[in-house]
Chain A
Amino acid sequence: MTKRLNALAGLLASVGLTLLGLVIITFLIGRVMPIDPIIAAVGDNAPQEVVERARLEMGLDQPILMQFFHYVVQLLHGDLGRSILTKNPVISDIARYFPATLELATAAVIVAAIIGIPLGVWAAVRQGTWIDQTIRVVCLAGHSVPVFVLALISLLVFYAALGIAPGPGRQDIVFQDMVPHITGVLTIDSIIAGDWDALWDALAHMVQPVCILAYFSMAYITRMTRAFMLDALRGEYVITARAKGLSPFSVIWIHAFPNVGVQLVTVLALTYAGLLEGAVVTETVFSWPGLGQYLTVSLMNADMNPVMGATLLVGLVYVGLNLLADAVYRQLDPRVR
Chain B
Amino acid sequence: MLVDIQNLRVSFATRTGTFEAVRGVSFKIGTEKLGIVGESGSGKSLTARALMRLLPPNARIDADRLNFDGTDILKADERTMRGIRGKRAGFILQDPKYSLNPVMTIGRQVAESWRQHKGGSRKQALEAAVDLLDQVRIRDPRRVCDLYPHEVSGGMGQRVMIAMMLAPDPALLIADEPTSALDATVQAEILRLMEDLVSKRGMGLILISHDLPLVSHFCDRVAVMYAGHVMEELSAGTLAQAKHPYTKGLLNCLPSLTHPKPRLPVLTRDAAWLQS
Known A-B contacts A240-B99, A243-B52, A335-B148; A255 and B104 likewise in contact (beta carbons under 8 Å): yes
Stretch at the interface among B77-85, B192-200, B233-241: B77-85
Write the A227-253 contact mask toward B (1 if CB under 8 angstroms, else 0). 000000001110111111111100000
Task: Tell me how far the C-beta of B181 lies from the nearest C-beta in chain A, rounded to whole angstroms.
Answer: 11
CB of B229 closer than 8 Å to a CB of A = no
Alpha-carbon gap, A147 to B160, bound state (A): 52
Smallest CB gap from B105: residue in A: A334
CB of B112 closer than 8 Å to a CB of A = yes
CB of B247 closer than 8 Å to a CB of A = no
User: Which residues of the partner chain B approach A247 to less than 8 Å between Cβ atoms?
Assistant: 82
A243–B148 touching, CB < 8 Å? no
Which of B87, B101, B102 has a CB less than 8 Å from the CB of A241?
B101
Which of B83, B95, B102, B161 has a CB less than 8 Å from the CB of A245?
B83
The A-contacting residues of B in range 88-109, CB under 8 angstroms, are 90-91, 93-95, 98-104
B103–A245 touching, CB < 8 Å? no
The A-contacting residues of B in range 155-204, CB under 8 angstroms, are 161, 164-165, 168
Alpha-carbon gap, A94 to B52, bound state (A): 62
Write the A318-337 contact mask toward B (1 if CB under 8 angstroms, else 0). 00000000000000111100
Smallest CB gap from A248: residue in B: B78
Task: Tell me how far the C-beta of B242 lies from the nearest C-beta in chain A, rounded to whole angstroms.
Answer: 32
Task: Tell me how far the C-beta of A53 lies from the nearest C-beta in chain B, rounded to whole angstroms.
Answer: 64
Task: Count chain A CB atoms within 10 A of each CB in B116, B161, B165, B168 and give the residue with the most.
Answer: B116
Smallest CB gap from B86: residue in A: A245
CB of A259 closer than 8 Å to a CB of B = yes
Alpha-carbon gap, A45 to B76, bound state (A): 89
Which of A243, A254, A259 has a CB less than 8 Å from the CB of B90?
A243
Smallest CB gap from A258: residue in B: B103
A259–B91 touching, CB < 8 Å? no
A258–B85 touching, CB < 8 Å? no
Alpha-carbon gap, A243 to B164, bound state (A): 10
Known A-B contacts A334-B148, A335-B150; A244 and B85 likewise in contact (beta carbons under 8 Å): yes
CB of B54 closer than 8 Å to a CB of A = yes
B101–A259 touching, CB < 8 Å? yes
Using C-beta atoms within 8 Å of the partner chain, give the interface range for chain A: 20 to 34
User: Which residues of the partner chain A approach B112 to less than 8 Å between Cβ atoms?
Assistant: 244, 246, 254
A244–B100 touching, CB < 8 Å? no
B98–A235 touching, CB < 8 Å? yes
User: Which residues of the partner chain B approach A259 to less than 8 Å between Cβ atoms?
Assistant: 101-103
Using C-beta atoms within 8 Å of the partner chain, give the interface range for chain B: 20 to 34
Known A-B contacts A242-B85, A243-B85; A261 and B91 likewise in contact (beta carbons under 8 Å): no
User: Which residues of the partner chain A approach B165 to less than 8 Å between Cβ atoms?
Assistant: 243-244
User: Which residues of the partner chain B approach A246 to less than 8 Å between Cβ atoms?
Assistant: 82, 86, 112, 116
Known A-B contacts A243-B165, A244-B164; A333 and B103 likewise in contact (beta carbons under 8 Å): yes
Which of A237, A242, A243, A248 has a CB less than 8 Å from the CB of B101?
A237
User: Which residues of the partner chain B approach A244 to less than 8 Å between Cβ atoms?
Assistant: 85-86, 112-113, 116, 164-165
A236–B95 touching, CB < 8 Å? yes
A236–B148 touching, CB < 8 Å? no
Known A-B contacts A239-B54, A255-B104; A245 and B99 likewise in contact (beta carbons under 8 Å): no
Alpha-carbon gap, A254 to B105, bound state (A): 12
A240–B102 touching, CB < 8 Å? no
B93–A239 touching, CB < 8 Å? yes
A240–B93 touching, CB < 8 Å? yes
Smallest CB gap from B90: residue in A: A243
The B-contacting residues of A in range 244-276, CB under 8 angstroms, are 244-248, 254-255, 258-259, 261
Which of A237, A245, A255, A332 has a CB less than 8 Å from the CB of B116?
A245
7 more CB-based (< 8 A) A-B contacts, given A254-B112, A334-B102: A239-B93, A245-B168, A255-B104, A258-B101, A261-B103, A334-B148, A335-B103
Contact surface of B with A, Cβ cutoff 8 Å: 52, 54, 78, 82-87, 90-91, 93-95, 98-104, 112-113, 116-117, 148, 150-151, 161, 164-165, 168
Can you sample 26 A-B contacts with CB below 8 Å? Answer: A236-B95, A237-B100, A239-B91, A239-B99, A240-B91, A240-B93, A240-B101, A242-B85, A243-B54, A243-B90, A243-B93, A244-B85, A244-B86, A244-B164, A244-B165, A245-B83, A245-B85, A245-B168, A255-B101, A259-B101, A332-B103, A333-B102, A334-B102, A334-B150, A335-B102, A335-B150
